[in-house]
Each structure stands twice: as structure tokens, then as C-alpha cells.
């Protein structure tokens, strides 16, 4: 080794050790907190999944098809949705599909619940957005496995870490698009609101949010698709769903199982993508 490299490596900055210390501090002192969150999510989601699974699948299929029709006013889409779901039942992945759907909906719900208000706050405060932007970039570019480890440490194995990891991955979309939507509201609409005496809150609810709604909805669609793309990762940390058979197939080099599960995920992705395009129908 050359002397310079020797010099540089003589004392290694103990980042890993610091991180470990930080996380063990969190686990020892706030275990109750993270456990509470994990248990809360798990109980609620598993309860919901259990409920849906008690209903005969065909009824759920009909309900989802009706929802597709209601959202997009398209009979073709409703039929395609029903066929897709029946195909998944035929493959034998009904339970996994419901689990995945629950995870995706929960993750999208949490992401929107946090992301939209944060996006609004950032749109009103340029300094906040300047701080947020690198963080959002980091959340989207950092390889998922890197934060999977601390999430595992804090929340243990199961549904909760899967959900949290999914949220971390998906939440930049609603933040960004809400920010974009609110900041691009035409100035004259804002002034119309102000000129007629709107309070800040009225301005938000009666002018900014309705004007930004299509963009925010595009954020929801993106958020759902990003969540779905995390199913396999979520399965790695123990969340049930369509990712499980994929992981299993990977471990045992089971080509038929992997293929079938993969197709089921693709079918589900297409259905979600088409059904959730709320903003675009309005805009066209």
C-alpha cells in the first residue's frame, strides 16, 4: 500500500459504529414507540385483510369492477378489471393479491396523508422546499436495501417494516406533485380570491387545492404505482403478499412459481394504473 492510502486509512471514521449506536439508542429507549406503531399497523391491516378474505372472492371482484366503472365511466375497463382479477384467482394468488392491495392502499394512504400537507407547506415556504428537495432526492435515489436494515431493526419483521419502507420510497411523489400543483396555480386566480377577501385558509381550500387537484391526483397515481413496485422488497422483510411467492421462487429457483407470481403482479399493476388515473380523465 502506498503511504498516502496508508495515511488515509490509518484511522477509519466509525460511521457504521455511530449509526449502530444511534439505532441501539433508539431501540432501547423508544422500543415502546416503534413497537406500538408496528403493532398498530399490523393489527389494523391484518384485520382488514381477514375481513375481505371472508367475503367470497367473486363478490369482491364484482365490487372492484364496479369501482373501476365508477371512477372511469368505462364498461370496457370494468370488464377488463374483472377478467384480470378472475385470472389471478385462477392462478391461486387471491389471498396474496388482497394482502398486497392492502399494503399498497395503506402505504399510499399514509404517503398522501403526510405528503400532501408537506407539499402544501413547502409550496408556501420556498425555504422549506429548498431544504426538502435534497432529502426527497435522497429518498428516491438511495437503494432501498440501505434503509431496509434500520427499518428492520426498529420495527422487526413483518408487515410494518414493509409498509414503512414502501412509504419512504413512495412519499416523494405526492410531496413533489403537491408542491408543483400549488405553486403553478395561476396568479390571477389567487388574486381573484384575495380581491374578494379570502382568508389564507379559504384561499387554500377554495382556490389553491381545487386548482391543484389534477396534479395532486397524478401524485396519488404515482404513489400507488411506486408502492406496488415495492411488493418484493416488502416480502423480503416479512410482509405477506404477492412478493412472497416471488421471494420463495427466487430462493428455490422455482421457475413456474416465479413466472406465475410475476404475471399476477403485472396484471395487478395494470389494473391499478388504469383504475387510478383520476386526474387524467378530468383533464382530457
Which residues contribute to the site for other proteins (CB under 8 A)?
A: 188-189, 191-199, 202, 206-207, 210-211, 213
Query: What's the CA gap between 226 and 95, in Å, rounded?
Result: 21
Contact (Cβ atoms closer than 8 angstroms) between residue 227 and residue 168: no
Nearer to other proteins, 20 or 200 (CB): 200
In 3-state terms the chain splits into helix, strand, coil percentages (rounded to 5) of: 85, 0, 15
Q: How far is the CB of 186 from other proteins (least distance, A)?
A: 8
Give the number of other CB atoms < 10 A from CB of residue 120.
Answer: 20
Question: For the chain, how big is the Rg over CA atoms in Å?
Answer: 22
- Would you list the DSSP string of 148-188? HHHHHHHH-SSHHHHHHHHHHHHTHHHHHHHHHHHHTS-HH
Output the nine-digit C-alpha cell for 237: 422483510
Nearer CB in complex with other proteins: 80/211: 211
Polymer length of the chain: 284
Smaller CB distance to other proteins: residue 80 or 203? 203
Please, what is the minimum distance in Å from the beta carbon of residue 7 to other proteins? 48
| DSSP string for 183-194 | HTS-HHHHHHHH
- Least distance (Å) between residue 23 CB and other proteins: 45
Minimum CB–partner distance for residue 283 and other proteins (Å): 11
Looking at the Cβ atoms of 161 and 181, the one nearer to other proteins is: 181
Closest by CA position to 242, among listed 148, 104, 38, 145: 104
- Closest distance to other proteins from the beta carbon of 278 (Å): 14
Q: Nearest distance from residue 204's CB to other proteins, in Å?
A: 13
Whichever of 182 and 233 has its CB closer to other proteins, that residue is: 182
Between 216 and 261, name the residue whose CB sits nearer to other proteins: 216
Amino acid at each position: 500500500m502506498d503511504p498516502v492510502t496508508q495515511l488515509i486509512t490509518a484511522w477509519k471514521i466509525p460511521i457504521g459504529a455511530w449509526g449502530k449506536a444511534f439505532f441501539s439508542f433508539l431501540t432501547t429507549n423508544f422500543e415502546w414507540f416503534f413497537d406500538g406503531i408496528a403493532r398498530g399497523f399490523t393489527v389494523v391491516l391484518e384485520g382488514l385483510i381477514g375481513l375481505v378474505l371472508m367475503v367470497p372472492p367473486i363478490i369482491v371482484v364484482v365490487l372492484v369492477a364496479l369501482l373501476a366503472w365508477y371512477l372511469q365511466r368505462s364498461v370496457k375497463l370494468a370488464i377488463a378489471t374483472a377478467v384480470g382479477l378472475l385470472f389471478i384467482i385462477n392462478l391461486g394468488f387471491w389471498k396474496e393479491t388482497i394482502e398486497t392491495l392492502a399494503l399498497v392502499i395503506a402505504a399510499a394512504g399514509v404517503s398522501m396523508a403526510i405528503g400532501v400537507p408537506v407539499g402544501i407547506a413547502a409550496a408556501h415556504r420556498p425555504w422549506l422546499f429548498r431544504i426538502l428537495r435534497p432529502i426527497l432526492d435522497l429518498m428516491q435515489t438511495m437503494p432501498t436495501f440501505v434503509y431496509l436494515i434500520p427499518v428492520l431493526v426498529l420495527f422487526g419483521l413483518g408487515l410494518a417494516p414493509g409498509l414503512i419502507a414502501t412509504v419512504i420510497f413512495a412519499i416523494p411523489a405526492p410531496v413533489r406533485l403537491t408542491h408543483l400543483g400549488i405553486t403553478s396555480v395561476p396568479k390571477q386566480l389567487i388574486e381573484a380570491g384575495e380581491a374578494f377577501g379570502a382568508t389564507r385558509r379559504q384561499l387554500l381550500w377554495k382556490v389553491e387545492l381545487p386548482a391543484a387537484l389534477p396534479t395532486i391526483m397524478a401524485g396519488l397515481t404515482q404513489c400507488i404505482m411506486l408502492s406496488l413496485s415495492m411488493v418484493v422488497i416488502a416480502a423480503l422483510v416479512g410482509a405477506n403478499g404477492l412478493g412472497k411467492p416471488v421471494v420463495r421462487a427466487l430462493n428455490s429457483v422455482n421457475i413456474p412459481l416465479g413466472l406465475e407470481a410475476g404475471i399476477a403482479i403485472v396484471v395487478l399493476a395494470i389494473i391499478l394504473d388504469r383504475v387510478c388515473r383520476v386526474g387524467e380523465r378530468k383533464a382530457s
